[in-house]
Chains A and B, each alone.
Chain A
Amino acid sequence: MTRKKRRMWILLLCAIGLGSATALTLTAFQDNLVFFRSPSDIMTGEQRPTPDRAFRLGGLVEAGSVQRDPTVAGQRPVVHFRVTDGANVIPVTYQGVLPDLFREGQGVVTLGKLGVDGVFRASEVLARHDETYMPPEVADALKRAGHWQPDQGPAPAPAIWNTLDPRTQQPTMPGRTGS
């Protein structure tokens, strides 16, 4: 075996060792690496977080759930909404300024504590952007054609809109004629 060959084999063995060690470590820490927990994790998990335990709750802002309290001069606005993951829902109360992307149907990550009354009191609300990017005209065309209501959840499959020219075309669902 030449020296180059030997070095190559040593390198390959090191790579396999290091790779499997990393994979095992990451698998072991899988549960601790979550940035936020979903309403279902909280409602159906083995143990509900105690009211003094701060954690992050993430999901979609449920359609029609956002209620803003009348603003009081000198105080930060109070907003109520519900976070859903489709299966379970948790009501949230937050006092403070919401990020620009916050809206019904948008993903959010909130940091706070779950009270005994089942209401999550958030001290921080972050908006979570999904991976879709489209010009306003395209979004309007999708809404007009009835393919998408942004407050109900994520945009439809990109294949039906990512080459759409809203000036000349109408979006069509695959397998459906007209709309």
Chain B
Amino acid sequence: MPWLWALAIGVTGIGAAWALFFSPADWQQGETVRIMYVHVPMAWLAMGGYTGLAILSIMSLIWRHPLADLTARELSPVGAAATALCLATGSLWGKPMWGTWWQWDARMTSVLVLFFLWLGHAALVRAFDDPERGARAGAILALVGFVNVPIVKFSVDWWNTLHQSASVTRMDAPAMHVDMLYPLLTCALGFTLLFATVVLARTRAAVMERRVRALEMARARRLDAAQ
């Protein structure tokens, strides 16, 4: 774990320094373009993390894997935070560039729905007295909500939107100069490592919590039996 933390913080630090100080400004956006180095990785994490949640949910529903339940439970608040950061940075970026904080276009609306799905999952799995029932309900919600992920991704191609279409993941060459693309990819790697490390740390803590609770229960039972 300490190694993973060091690696995640190291890569994010290098990416952030590269993006903020050693990459060029955009020819028309100027320095404002640097918001991209947080906004885009957070958007990728929001969607990639949700795909991970869907995979965990499949594992939970088919194989009844307890670790998948626990990881899903610890993943959703982190995913919600990433999506919230994506929306917040997007809004801050939209005001100076587009001239608006928010518009109900297909991309923005579908990302807002994604945010509510993350929040809904986090709340639902904690809403049951029986954690297993909560995990089952959360898994079903996560899988139903997964239809939104392709909608987020392709909203900018299927409908006309204020948001531009993809710059990096497109069929021909990335529509971004390499001097900006490489720091972006480094930031994305760093934030992804950070995201994974936080989720892993939370899951480890949850496993330990369960173990402590099980030991306490066992001790209480022993005490009961002794009396």
Contacts and interface: CB of A to CB of B under 8 A. Distances in A.
Interface of A: 4, 7-8, 11, 14-15, 18-19, 22, 26, 30, 33-36, 38, 58, 98-103, 109, 124-140, 150, 155, 157-159, 161-164
7 contacts: A133-B175, A135-B24, A135-B25, A135-B27, A137-B24, A150-B28, A163-B178
B62 A4 contact: yes
A33 to B, nearest CB: 5
A133 B166 contact: no
A78 B167 CA distance: 34
Contacts, number: 135
A126 to B, nearest CB: 5
A11 B143 contact: yes
Q: Secondary structure of the B side of the interface?
A: loop
Contacts of B172: 157-159
A35 B161 contact: yes
Interface size class of B (residues with CB under 8 A): 35 or more
Given A11-B61, A35-B103, A58-B160, A134 B96 contact: no
A155 B158 CA distance: 22
B179 interface: yes
A124 B101 CA distance: 13
A4 B144 CA distance: 20
Nearest to A143: B27
A26 B155 CA distance: 11
B22 interface: no
Among A34, A127, A131, A138, the most chain B Cβ lie within 10 Å of the Cβ of: A131
B5 interface: no
B97 to A, nearest CB: 5
B36 interface: yes
Contacts of A138: 27, 177
Q: Which 5 A-B pairs have the closest CB atoms?
A: A99-B99, A135-B24, A139-B27, A159-B173, A136-B27
Contacts of A109: 162
Interface in B90-111: 96-100, 103, 105-106
